[in-house]
Amino acid sequence: MRGRAANPFARIAPFRGSELQLRHLGHKSLGLQPLKTLLARVRPILAVVAVVVVSQCALAHQNSANDADRAWVQKIFPLALDQFFPVERAEGDFIAVRSHQEGLNEIPEYSFVLEDTQDAHALKATVHEAQGASLYDQLLALHAKDPSKSYEDLEPDLKIEEWKLSVAECPALATQLTAYQNIQFVRPRDDDEVAEHPILYEFHESAAGSDSEAVEFVESRAFPKWAVATRKAIEACIAATATASVKSQQP
């Protein structure tokens, strides 16, 4: 239990007592004027101290609230990440990739799944991306706004976009699948340069009933480079599909 805060005016009490005593004795010239001068000098300092104490108390309260919100999000985030950016389940053989920032979680999360990779003609992609802000930051803001709400209550307010593309709509899917199959795995080295808050690339491949998983965080390595290139190819297809859709609706 915290002790009572020290009275910031405690040091002034003896001066006030001395002032009253001098007045009673009629010896104003012996110290009354200097005491008034001292009090005049001390009061502004005490005012500043009071403001600093109040500001620090308010800041401590704010930080405490933020810490509580972040603790809640840290607990919920893995569940939400798997729900909105799944890499475990897909049709047929598949390659799933999910990217999110470690530590800060400021960069919007992104995932794509190449499904039915055993058949080039049936190949398709399912894509998810957090909109406006990262899933982590969305959860943090929503929980801070109303801590009484559960994760289930907040789900409808989360902004996650989904796209589905067939290989007919996006031929680049087949190109990127071939590129993936040609990647040569290289073991991480101790001298690999790592960012302070790296982007984590989670890979999950399922082929012929066999599963393999890996996490990469050095963007100059082969798997992250392939993931970034595939994302750019998919985004180009999405943009082209959207443009074609708009044109088809025009009279």
- Condensed to tens digits (0 to 9), the pLDDT of residues 148-175 reads 999 999 999 999 999 999 999 999 999 9
Q: Percent of the chain scored above 70 by pLDDT?
A: 71
150: its two tokens: 């559960």
171: its two tokens: 């031929």
Closest CA to 134 of 77, 196, 87: 77
Q: Vertex 125, ends 77 and 237: CA angle to 5°? A: 110
The last residue of one of the domains, among 65, 95, 112, is: 65
Q: Where are the alpha helices (DSSP H) in 85-211?
A: 135-145, 151-154, 172-181
3-class secondary-structure state, position 194: coil
Q: Is the same domain home to 128 and 235?
A: yes
17: its two tokens: 């007592």
Domain membership of residue 78 (yes or no) is: no
Segment (H or E) for 124: strand 124-130
- d(C-alpha 107, C-alpha 195), whole Å: 14
Computed over its alpha carbons, how large is the radius of gyration of the chain?
32
Q: Is the same domain home to 17 and 113?
A: no
Domain that holds residue 26: 10-65
Q: Is the same domain home to 117 and 201?
A: yes
Q: Is the same domain home to 177 and 232?
A: yes
pLDDT at residue 1 greater than cutoff 70: no
Closest CA to 107 of 193, 233, 176, 195: 195
Domain membership of residue 149 (yes or no) is: no
By the 10 Å C-beta count (0-12 exposed, 13-18 middle, 19+ buried), 186 is classed as exposed
To the nearest 10 degrees (0 to 180), the angle between helices 222-249 and 172-181 is 170
Q: Give the total number of structural domains in the chain.
A: 2
pLDDT at residue 246 greater than cutoff 70: no
Q: Is the same domain home to 127 and 167?
A: yes
Domain membership of residue 209 (yes or no) is: yes
**Residue 122: CB atoms within 10 Å:** 13
Q: Is the same domain home to 93 and 192?
A: yes
Q: Is the same domain home to 212 and 104?
A: yes
Q: Percent of the chain scored above 90 by pLDDT?
A: 58
Domain membership of residue 141 (yes or no) is: no
Which of 42-46, 75-79, 240-244 is the least confident region?
42-46
